[in-house]
Structure 1
């Protein structure tokens, strides 16, 4: 089968498109014929070696899969079932989806929602599913459209694009932060009401700033997240899910103890199945399907390696879907 394989020999780290024997697939009770995978920020880190995402070698990257069950000894799945996978360490410690076949633990799977094709499910992928988890987190903290504006950082990226689309459809007034002003039309087409330059948030700021937003979805971390927290209104909340700027948080406790701001961490990798099913059901209900084509670019397996580099350089907008059979 075709696959992208990452190897590490002494100090040489390499990702290449190659042929892999299906018999070498890791153990698991479900084998899937992969239709589509994706390229996420984490996949970019894995393929380029820019961060130690991969913890076992050799490794097939790809944290997302949409495909059809080929063989199964799992009670919930049978041959012919359409399924989706996001996370669970796939592409990090277990061979992932940037290949024509994958074998894994059936407990990690969810059924493909009837509303979506395999390609559409991957246009959403971990990024879109994470965006939905962030929206659900804000809702759980009582952040409703009448409370005020919602800020989305890294708005041109995968999580950001879907978050903007979801929030706008749900009736929130969305403020998008981006370092790519040339994408203003793109962001407005997704429902953005206002755009600010990321430079306003990316440097060291004040411990407590002007109350501007009722809530936020942050994909960036570091100084950006600190400044976002400092600008949240009394009783507001931030759903934090990314670290594009860095994994540090140079903040103070002041927004939390003086304004009651809630910082809600959002994890998509080990998220319990019950919440995954709820998130995918909400996506089927709340995502504006007309935006899917706007936010999606399709590539082949062969194109995945150079595209991974462009992704980390901030040159890719929206979602990248990989047709592993093209």
Structure 2
């Protein structure tokens, strides 16, 4: 690395601090993080096995759930191994290009997860508001097309973040990243050059993707609730509402944690740095942990399959 006028020109290696201010207890913080990761891996893998092996679950709702589980496994795996390397084995260094690749993977899988949640909301909208056409509209071909479109959208919107860093930012004040993984703004703020375009694009991509998804999801559920409350029989209303409660819980945990982390990281200037980092870590770890638990508890077909595998009965 070449140092020029107090800056580093195109660094080859960056150093991840972990959680600034909590370095002395990072070893212990790593234990619950590791437990969350293992639980998320086990829960989502079990979900994938159940959906794959049970032909009655080869329906759009469960296939979207399988996509969500695979995305959760990939998202948590992007950050946890390296994070535990920092916390437990004092391995903070990461190649600059590897850091950018990790950043791209994280943002790509976040966008994919948001897109899958949008598709799940639209699936529930059609299933409840237009049930006779649900099987005609949500064919396996359409599910494949949705999966490809969601992935391409995420890849295309995430790529410019890397290109803008790689091509525009050549000089850096420091190579020490005050974070436990390669978060976009944490890396951009190290640059000694004008970072306004990088910041603007980051905000633009977040609001275009997450903003659009949230608006469509909210509108879908407003229409769903109107339809459900207009159903003539109480039992029908309860059944329809019950199929949506798991989705609503997952939507809330993903978007509320995401926006809270996003705004505190960019605008919470008076909040201690370790709060920012912990929130960012929890945002990437909690949804993969809770999603299979929520669906396992709220979905009867999955509960029944789990009970057969582990030979126990759920309380009625």
Query: Shorter-chain TM-score category?
Result: under 0.3
Which of structures 1 and 2 has the bigger CA Rg?
2
Higher RCO (C-alpha under 8 Å, 6+ residues apart): 2
Comparing both structures, which one devotes a greater share of its residues to strand? 1
